[in-house]
């Protein structure tokens, strides 16, 4: 595969990001949600590209020494090629550099692809949020990684 670039998400990326969002989730974020993320002071939003084609994105927020992954998706045509892993790995570097010690996320209990991806980075299941998701109703697994300093 040609060289994948990871960079900060820009306002002009949002229409392409929303296209991926809409095919990836049953309750997708709106353009406005992404817009809010990119201008929030303690947030990180990044996209993965080949040339000017957006392949995927990740959004996270930071509160003191904790980061929280809020969103991650890769276009179906580019899944299983390491794009999701590259986004997670770049995010981990960034939040660690900014002083975070812990990183959390929620994932649907049935989402084996995402769960496996995060397990490969040593995230562990630390709890369950009952009925966290709608369409369909489902529990969330809370996963956490302690970052080394
Ligand atoms: N089935 C089983 N394991 C999988 C799958 C799958 N379909 N997809 C990824 N994995 C695991 C594998 O261990 C894989 O390694 P391997 O290919 O060497 O076996 C590893 O994850 C890394 O895969 P990547 O290629 O880096 O992941 P990809 O670029 O395909 O992105 C993602 C994974 C983001 C979960 C993608 O499937 C996607 O966009 N899904 C829909 C949206 C989604 O569920 N996002 C996560 C929500 S949770 C959250 O945001 C906190």
Share of the chain above pLDDT 90, in %: 97
Query: 28: Cβ below 6 Å to ligand 1?
Result: no
C-beta pairs of 15-20 under 8 Å, 24+ apart in sequence:
16/54, 17/47, 17/54, 17/57, 20/54, 20/56, 20/57, 20/73, 20/74, 20/75
The pLDDT score that the predictor gives to residue 2 is 72
Are residues 75 and 42 in contact, defined by beta-carbon separation less than 8 angstroms? no
CA dist., res. 44 & res. 62, Å (int):
8
Are residues 92 and 109 in contact, defined by beta-carbon separation less than 8 angstroms? no
What are the residue numbers of the active site? 106, 118
Mean pLDDT of 98-106: 97
Q: What total of structural domains would you count in the chain?
A: 1
The pTM (predicted TM-score) of the whole model is: 0.97
Residue 23 has pLDDT above 80, yes or no: yes
Residue 1 has pLDDT above 90, yes or no: no
Segments forming the whole domain that contains residue 130:
5-146
Mean pLDDT of 75-80: 98
Specify the CATH number for the domain of residue 11: 3.40.630.30
Task: Determine the distance separating the centroid of ligand 1 and the alpha carbon of 36, expressed in angstroms.
Answer: 25
Pocket mutation for ligand 1, best pick of 113, 126, 133 (most atoms within 8 Å of C-beta) = 113
The pLDDT score that the predictor gives to residue 60 is 98
Task: Determine the distance separating the centroid of ligand 1 and the alpha carbon of 85, expressed in angstroms.
Answer: 8
Mean pLDDT, all residues of the chain: 96
Residue 78 has pLDDT above 70, yes or no: yes
């Amino acid at each position: 595969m040609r060289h994948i670039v990871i960079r900060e998400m820009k306002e002009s990326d949002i229409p392409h990001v929303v296209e991926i969002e809409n095919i990836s989730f049953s309750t997708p974020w709106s353009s406005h949600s992404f817009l809010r993320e990119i201008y929030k002071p303690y947030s990180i939003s990044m996209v993965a590209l080949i040339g000017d084609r957006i392949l995927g994105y990740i959004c996270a927020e930071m509160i003191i020494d904790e980061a929280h992954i809020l969103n991650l998706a890769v276009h179906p045509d580019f899944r299983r090629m390491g794009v999701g892993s590259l986004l997670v790995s770049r995010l981990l570097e960034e939040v660690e550099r900014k002083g975070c010690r812990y990183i959390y996320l929620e994932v649907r209990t049935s989402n084996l692809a995402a769960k496996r991806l995060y397990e490969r980075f040593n995230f562990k299941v630390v709890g369950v949020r009952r009925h966290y998701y709608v369409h369909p109703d489902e529990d969330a697994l809370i996963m956490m990684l302690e970052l080394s300093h």
